């Protein structure tokens, strides 16, 4: 079982193992959890207490013995909502601190698959109503996932951002799929782009994604740079069909 998503929620390895063990054994004292999980007794007790504090484990007293049980897995959604609410309340203070910065960075590197996804979402956080992209190939779907791209373009369309997308003609099926979406125009070009790179221009932002085994992206926030990349895009767009 891939437990990475539970780690993303902030659970430790011990908490995850104890939570999953309780799901399997049901209501139990700490002893069976220690035996089945293979964790040290003290580690299990710390994990049980922290999971109880997070509302993911409950317990009842039977005499002097505590019997623990995990909450139904669907309660993890409430746990996520609680975290989101805490972050939402924190956002004004975080934004205030960011605005105190004397100089806004013009270039930011985003590492890994999650980082590239974050770059793409940042691209859309703009007042611009135009989005231009060229390059990329199937590898971007393999790395970021079709589900991500569907959600990304859905958000773009909801924000009323019109897209012009330029692809190599070897991925015409993907181009045809996107062409059916609102506010989306796609052209194909015979010149083969490097399948490991993709360039996006939106407003004063330029995103450059590199799809290698360890993908990363570079976000430039500079009107002059965006205008330069847009000029190159326009030249390629005229060659498309």
pLDDT tens for 188-237 read 887 666 678 999 999 999 999 999 989 999 999 999 999 999 999 999 99
Domains and CATH numbers, the chain: 4-75 (1.10.10.10), 104-239 (3.30.870.10)
For the segment 65-76, the average pLDDT, to the nearest whole number, is 90
At residue 156, does pLDDT exceed 90? yes
Report angle CA 68, 72, 75 to the nearest 5 degrees. Answer: 115
Q: Answer whether 0.85 is exceeded by the pTM.
A: no
How many DSSP H helices and E strands does the chain contain? 10, 9
Structure tokens at 67: 């019997």
Closest CA to 133 of 106, 158, 168, 109: 168
pLDDT tens for 90-137 read 999 988 887 776 555 588 999 999 999 999 999 999 889 999 999 877
Count CA within 13 A, CB hemisphere, residue 142. Answer: 11
Give the DSSP H/E element, type plus range, for residue 135: strand 130-135
């Amino acid at each position: 079982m891939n437990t990475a998503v539970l780690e993303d929620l902030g659970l430790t390895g011990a908490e995850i193992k104890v939570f999953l063990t309780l799901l399997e054994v049901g209501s139990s004292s700490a002893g069976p959890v220690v035996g089945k999980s293979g964790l040290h007794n003290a580690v299990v007790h710390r994990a049980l207490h922290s999971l109880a504090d997070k509302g993911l484990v409950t317990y009842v007293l039977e005499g002097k013995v505590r019997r623990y049980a995990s909450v139904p897995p669907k309660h993890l959604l409430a746990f996520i909502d609680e975290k989101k609410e805490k972050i939402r309340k924190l956002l004004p203070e975080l934004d205030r601190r960011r605005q105190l910065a004397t100089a806004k960075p013009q270039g930011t590197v985003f590492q890994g698959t999650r980082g590239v996804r974050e770059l793409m979402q940042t691209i859309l956080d703009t007042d611009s109503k135009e989005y231009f992209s060229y390059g990329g190939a199937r590898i971007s779907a393999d790395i970021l996932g079709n589900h991500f791209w569907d959600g990304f373009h859905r958000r773009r369309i909801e924000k009323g951002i019109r897209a012009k997308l330029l692809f190599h003609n070897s991925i015409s099926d993907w181009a045809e799929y996107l062409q059916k979406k609102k506010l989306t125009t796609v052209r194909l070009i015979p010149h083969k782009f490097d399948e490991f790179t993709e360039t996006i221009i939106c407003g004063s932002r330029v995103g450059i994604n590199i799809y290698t085994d360890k993908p990363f992206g570079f976000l430039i926030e500079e009107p002059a740079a965006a205008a330069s990349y847009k000029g190159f895009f326009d030249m390629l767009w005229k060659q498309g069909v």
